[in-house]
Structure 1
């Protein structure tokens, strides 16, 4: 059925058939497009079209493809020789190839939406930003209607943004009658609007979060006509840029009653939600709690009610740095396309890659093909500015089905951003471009089948959910750890950086962590490796498996989030989603009610060095380590700035207690950003630290009580934080009303009562008997060496006189080491 918008457009536009006259190209542009023709790619595409649509394309004359390469090469030579007739002949060949490839039935939509934007300001956020961060100076853009795609394309404006304001994030409704997009209101705040394509002059604003310090954008229609959208109502700031980019999370709006509920609770941005045919929502999630920030944007999925949040692609990987604009490939249950981009390099744009997660979910395992790049391997590169030197560059791919994709493309550095049809055979076919303009976000105006309607399982009135682990020893996370080692799980959560804070100047700890870490407590693990426990809903929670001494044998440098009433299950510790399920057997943990979290010496709170660890030093260490020469100073003293030439530290706002810095020198930890790959179990076990090795060796008779051991262990396992709240880090002036506003948003949209800036008193330890003081043994007498003293030359002569000295060490397992 023809869309109602045709009545608006036909008076202004003429629709062209594929046989209609196409625009004549300039000589330089003719040569450029002629050079892009790949004869083998053209032949493969036309054969594929004939096989897919035999009634439409099966009888097409393809004999001319046999000589296409020769004709192209000959015309290139004639153009280089500046033959007068060559330009017209080359233009005719380009148009012939274009017409053949654009005859693809997947382009049968009569009209296409796109964003036409002035090329002087592309309004693309940096890869660590959201849309509100874009410089809008000189920005001109509009939503436009493209017709005549196969002939002489023409554009008609549908909605023109005011100069200096943004319009984009196009989302067409399933019925193709309504368009959702992001615009700006009169206060320059981003809002989500709906446009009736039959009456496009009157866009309506969605009644999302109305506050004047909040932006809403990137709406996504769901199968039930509710809407997911992004909003920075989180009052979180991206920590590596001092909170200057306000973190956006996913929210859901219900049209029946206007209810809005927050679904994601992550450290950094979510981007580009889109619903998949199976009903799940695909989106990009950025996180870096102990991993490398420039390569840690992971493709995730969740159900429309927020349940079932899990990784789809990119965990424990260094490639790709980012997967922007991911969309499912129609007709395939697994494949998707995305723009592979970098971090500090070009914004949002990059390489167009097709993935299939069933092949693998790490780095290049799931790559089907880079486009163009048929038959070529994709390199697993580790680089910050990953795609700066890679051409062509792409944006906003819209998979049509099979290997055909409608996309914005800039084929060469001096080319325009135009609208192209590309395919997995390596054809890059220009549809339309305009001087001085960039054409973005192509969307065919045609109805789309609604995705599967998934039943909501979240029970929004509840405040808790449950977690079930079938067997924690399954999966590579605890590979090689003997069964029975893990006795419990430590639960921790976070207070992420507020707006306007974070980075090196506001670090919570020295070389880690980025954010305030909060101890929740622990839950038991049964002898068969199973666990079943209750957790607060709408809370990012990390789990650490603990041995009998309460020491972490693995570090979860990410988090899970459970919706109200949800039962979230996992098979083991970091088990691959592509692995087959293990044998079903009764779980010991499921034979009882879910465990409640056992508090850790008090309520949930941020771990602060002076409150949680300094009391241990006061009891056992400061008697000797009191600042006297030659010994580290573990006494409680005012904080000091870090002495360094690094610019980020010179004007640091926060101070570190001297005892904290002294103790950190004896600790081996994962640092602020450790290896992205899955850690080997026990790699950072506290027993590997010099501090624990000294203490366990009976350091001058010091014997810690169980609580003191536990406090040191927990502090180290949680990456040695110094500050337990952001208020004590940056001060009341910078905090302002940020904590109040975040708490208000959490109550309103997450049913949470947060008080993360509340501090608790300094820990009071139980009073074990102190070990008896033992005097230091007298220094041993100097060894008697004949002829002493002697110089280095004499010492070397004496060593040589002894001859070769060797020693063999038995390392076990049939391995020995010979020392020479």
Structure 2
């Protein structure tokens, strides 16, 4: 419905209730207003003069969704007045109230209101959600302002209401009301007529929809829905009430294709033929989920995978295979008590299973993009916060070319269940707030990667509440989601309607993973780049000095890369990082060795395949200059290239046909092992002897001629505490070493993390009471810090202390 027609109908409706006007809809969204599609950067070119809205004449496009103020340089950095004109045939008999529904407020401005040229209210607003994106579809922090109009302020004929913002920054509008009510209007987003519009429009070719049902498990983590807890294999983490269902949209008939109330069904995906369904099924009385196929009529149930591991979240590949998530990687969540699922693939018969991801943490919800790549969620944290980086990545169907699609730089949000939106460059996904919610619940959202993976303003939250799951996009203006026991439809403005609700006999179950039962074209085939039987791949780095945060690093300063491997946990018994560190790393990091960096900043080297690898750039003293806080993986025989060090994904170095990286002119370097040091550093075994030799005579418990005991209130002796030694604890709280500290931060400046930023080395050069460390002692300290500064050098410490 066009905006103008919609507004006139709304005005006619509310006039019968003696309301003088209602601009917009009380739905906690600004999407119906002007500029909502172009957004705030286009304000100055769209509204070249004062904003004046005439009730009964103008469409909602004449009223901007965002009202700028003095701090907003994009709108001229000045106060702005928005004026509403309206006519009265007669004066109202009751007192009138001007109610402003705000979606969000940035830096709080002062709001000044006037009626017919006379000021009647002035108020300093309060800060909203803290989201400065200015997105009209963002959740925001809705608030309502109620102002009583002075007696005699209105007059017969034309009237004006003006809103001026002074100082501060913008506000976003939800609605503006003038009438006798003095309370905020009730918010309503459901629109019943939307169902008919969908069935006649985007769903016209969809006759049936499939979905699963099952009960919920009590664990609030999005990933804790299979397997068991580490402390007891009999403490399961899955639900029951399993059904695979088919709903006819024309007749409303519900058909149960598979029912196992002691088992569970999840993750159906329809084949390109529109008939064959692959799904995950845990039979009643058994523990693991396995992959199955079934025809859309409920016939030909066939088991594909078996064994002791859970297989789930399957999706069809254009080459005839299946990509899925599995616990076959045999690893546990680094910060919880449940198992990890990684991405695998198999053929259509469930054979030739191969692992594609080496992630220490969860991969989830793989789905094929229109160009043939696999889009999926990857959760990771290398020396940074464990609850802020679970975003969207891509890989080829053979596991090569693993790279970020959107996210992994700015902290926050779980981006999951992503799928392409037909005929656009956007994808639909669930934006689950914070660390994610149970069963992937969150905001129905879309995002485009065309401006790069870090542009948060490209995310558009469509739903107003964070309780949507398992989205499907028919178009950029038509979406289907699961919402508790209901199957729901949303348009791009967030208006929604219930399509179906589970019947009473499904009590205790929620509706999950709805998919249209329709054929679709296959995506293009991407040729495989792996070499069967190879144990290594290779990396080609163009220029280590090319990056977003490399200021002060001079050409030639970086001499080599330290190559590290993050090791998966074989078990875990806590939600914290103990006993591996004191509020630091959650995992152990193994030293593989070093590779040379050429004078032009290039490097070309071999690396073991299917490992979680990351790098530290070292100077001529082997001190850390720049540290990678993510991981990379190569498949057997794959050569993976990168432009620089933390370079922006939306930029590239200028093309120069005559320039060829020096490293590319030779064979790849093997990783050179580091002699005189273990590959896994253990603090009591390796670091404490260095402290005993250099530090304990002053920083011990004994009185000494050198200044002990406890010089500088610092203990560096190896005496044991309940979990850590006194020296490890004191080095941590005294910040003698620099690590990621579980912080939601990335891409630090040079020499801000690792050995190059650690204060301990300032004490070992002779300036601190004559203490001078040997090269061997400094090597041990460097490697210990650059491998995450863990306390034990083994996962055998998990669950038993050290």
TM-score, reference length from structure 2: 0.70
1:302 and 2:401 equivalent?
A: no
User: Secondary structure of the residue that 1:580 maps to in structure 2?
Assistant: coil
Quote how far apart the aligned CAs of 1:330 are.
Answer: 1.4
- Within the candidate set 585, 591, 599, 1:519 is matched to 591
Question: CA 1:619 to 1:668, structure 2 compared with 1: closer, same or farther past 3 Å?
Answer: closer
CA-to-aligned-CA distance 1:274-306 (integer Å, 9 cap, x gap): 111111101111112222222210211111111
User: Secondary structure of the residue that 1:701 maps to in structure 2?
Assistant: coil
Q: Is the contact made by 1:130 and 1:248 (CA closer than 8 Å) also made in structure 2?
A: no
- Within the candidate set 408, 411, 425, 1:315 is matched to 408
Q: Is the contact made by 1:178 and 1:194 (CA closer than 8 Å) also made in structure 2?
A: no
Quote how far apart the aligned CAs of 1:200 are.
Answer: 1.6
- Within the candidate set 461, 471, 491, 1:370 is matched to 461
Distance 2:469 2:582 in 1: 39
Partner of 2:212: 115
- For structure 1, which segment, 604-613 or 461-470, has the greater mean C-alpha deviation from structure 2 after superposition? 604-613
User: Secondary structure of the residue that 2:625 maps to in structure 1?
Assistant: coil
CA-to-aligned-CA distance 1:596-619 (integer Å, 9 cap, x gap): 111112687322113332333344
1:179 and 2:277 equivalent?
A: yes
Q: Is the contact made by 2:441 and 2:466 (CA closer than 8 Å) also made in structure 1?
A: no
Q: Is the contact made by 2:567 and 2:590 (CA closer than 8 Å) also made in structure 1?
A: yes
- Within the candidate set 370, 386, 395, 2:469 is matched to 395
Q: Is the contact made by 2:226 and 2:310 (CA closer than 8 Å) also made in structure 1?
A: no
TM-score, reference length from structure 1: 0.68
- Within the candidate set 245, 256, 262, 1:157 is matched to 256
Partner of 1:343: 435
Distance 2:735 2:218 in 1: 48
Distance 1:606 1:721 in 2: 10
Partner of 2:241: 140
Q: Is the contact made by 1:517 and 1:606 (CA closer than 8 Å) also made in structure 2?
A: yes
Quote how far apart the aligned CAs of 1:180 are.
Answer: 0.6
**Which 5+ residue runs of structure 1 have no aligned equivalent?**
1-33, 45-65, 67-79, 81-92, 373-389, 411-416, 642-654, 736-820
User: Secondary structure of the residue that 1:295 maps to in structure 2?
Assistant: coil
Question: CA 1:164 to 1:524, structure 2 compared with 1: closer, same or farther past 3 Å?
Answer: same
- Within the candidate set 224, 235, 247, 2:330 is matched to 235
**Which 5+ residue runs of structure 2 have no aligned equivalent?**
1-24, 36-58, 60-180, 182-189, 229-234, 703-708
Q: Is the contact made by 1:477 and 1:681 (CA closer than 8 Å) also made in structure 2?
A: yes
Question: CA 1:563 to 1:297, structure 2 compared with 1: closer, same or farther past 3 Å?
Answer: same
- For structure 1, which segment, 693-702 or 620-629, has the greater mean C-alpha deviation from structure 2 after superposition? 620-629
Q: Is the contact made by 1:359 and 1:365 (CA closer than 8 Å) also made in structure 2?
A: no
Q: Is the contact made by 1:687 and 1:693 (CA closer than 8 Å) also made in structure 2?
A: no
Q: Is the contact made by 1:37 and 1:427 (CA closer than 8 Å) also made in structure 2?
A: no
Question: CA 1:299 to 1:589, structure 2 compared with 1: closer, same or farther past 3 Å?
Answer: same
Question: CA 1:466 to 1:191, structure 2 compared with 1: closer, same or farther past 3 Å?
Answer: same
Q: Is the contact made by 1:339 and 1:394 (CA closer than 8 Å) also made in structure 2?
A: no
CA-to-aligned-CA distance 1:368-420 (integer Å, 9 cap, x gap): x2214xxxxxxxxxxxxxxxxx626311111112321122236xxxxxx3222
Partner of 1:749: none
1:727 and 2:727 equivalent?
A: no
- For structure 1, which segment, 345-354 or 221-230, has the greater mean C-alpha deviation from structure 2 after superposition? 345-354
Partner of 1:386: none
- Within the candidate set 620, 623, 630, 2:710 is matched to 630
- Within the candidate set 678, 685, 690, 1:616 is matched to 690
- Within the candidate set 668, 674, 686, 1:594 is matched to 668
Question: CA 1:682 to 1:38, structure 2 compared with 1: closer, same or farther past 3 Å?
Answer: closer
Quote how far apart the aligned CAs of 1:335 are.
Answer: 3.6
Distance 2:438 2:350 in 1: 42
Q: Is the contact made by 1:327 and 1:338 (CA closer than 8 Å) also made in structure 2?
A: no
User: Secondary structure of the residue that 1:233 maps to in structure 2?
Assistant: helix
- Within the candidate set 407, 426, 439, 2:494 is matched to 426
Quote how far apart the aligned CAs of 1:479 are.
Answer: 3.5
Distance 2:729 2:213 in 1: 55
- Within the candidate set 513, 523, 546, 1:441 is matched to 513
Q: Is the contact made by 2:430 and 2:441 (CA closer than 8 Å) also made in structure 1?
A: no
Q: Is the contact made by 2:289 and 2:311 (CA closer than 8 Å) also made in structure 1?
A: yes
Question: CA 1:590 to 1:219, structure 2 compared with 1: closer, same or farther past 3 Å?
Answer: same
Partner of 1:764: none
Q: Is the contact made by 1:520 and 1:603 (CA closer than 8 Å) also made in structure 2?
A: no
Question: CA 1:345 to 1:429, structure 2 compared with 1: closer, same or farther past 3 Å?
Answer: closer
Distance 1:263 1:607 in 2: 29
Partner of 1:102: 199
- Within the candidate set 693, 696, 721, 1:640 is matched to 721
Distance 1:230 1:335 in 2: 20
Q: Is the contact made by 2:194 and 2:496 (CA closer than 8 Å) also made in structure 1?
A: no
Partner of 2:92: none
Partner of 1:817: none
- Within the candidate set 714, 724, 728, 1:656 is matched to 724
Distance 2:218 2:199 in 1: 29
Distance 2:303 2:612 in 1: 31
Distance 1:624 1:135 in 2: 52
Partner of 1:405: 479
Distance 1:348 1:595 in 2: 43
Quote how far apart the aligned CAs of 1:125 are.
Answer: 6.5
- For structure 1, which segment, 269-278 or 480-489, has the greater mean C-alpha deviation from structure 2 after superposition? 480-489
- For structure 1, which segment, 673-682 or 429-438, has the greater mean C-alpha deviation from structure 2 after superposition? 429-438
Distance 1:325 1:124 in 2: 19
Question: CA 1:225 to 1:699, structure 2 compared with 1: closer, same or farther past 3 Å?
Answer: same
CA-to-aligned-CA distance 1:713-739 (integer Å, 9 cap, x gap): 2222223111111124545xx99xxxx
Mapping of residues 330-729 of structure 1, within 5 Å: 330-343=422-435, 345=437, 347-362=439-454, 364-367=456-459, 369-372=460-463, 391=465, 393-409=467-483, 417-436=485-504, 438-504=510-576, 506-584=578-656, 585-601=659-675, 605-628=679-702, 629-631=709-711, 632-637=714-719, 639-641=720-722, 655-664=723-732, 665=734, 667-684=736-753, 686=755, 688-729=757-798
Question: CA 1:107 to 1:324, structure 2 compared with 1: closer, same or farther past 3 Å?
Answer: farther
Distance 1:494 1:626 in 2: 34
Partner of 1:75: none
Distance 2:773 2:219 in 1: 56
Residue correspondences, number: 608
Question: CA 1:711 to 1:427, structure 2 compared with 1: closer, same or farther past 3 Å?
Answer: same
Distance 1:621 1:393 in 2: 56
User: Secondary structure of the residue that 1:627 maps to in structure 2?
Assistant: coil
Quote how far apart the aligned CAs of 1:634 are.
Answer: 4.2
Q: Is the contact made by 2:257 and 2:297 (CA closer than 8 Å) also made in structure 1?
A: no
Distance 1:322 1:271 in 2: 11
Question: CA 1:345 to 1:252, structure 2 compared with 1: closer, same or farther past 3 Å?
Answer: closer
Question: CA 1:136 to 1:464, structure 2 compared with 1: closer, same or farther past 3 Å?
Answer: closer
Distance 2:453 2:31 in 1: 31
Q: Which has the larger radius of gyration?
A: 1
Question: CA 1:483 to 1:555, structure 2 compared with 1: closer, same or farther past 3 Å?
Answer: same
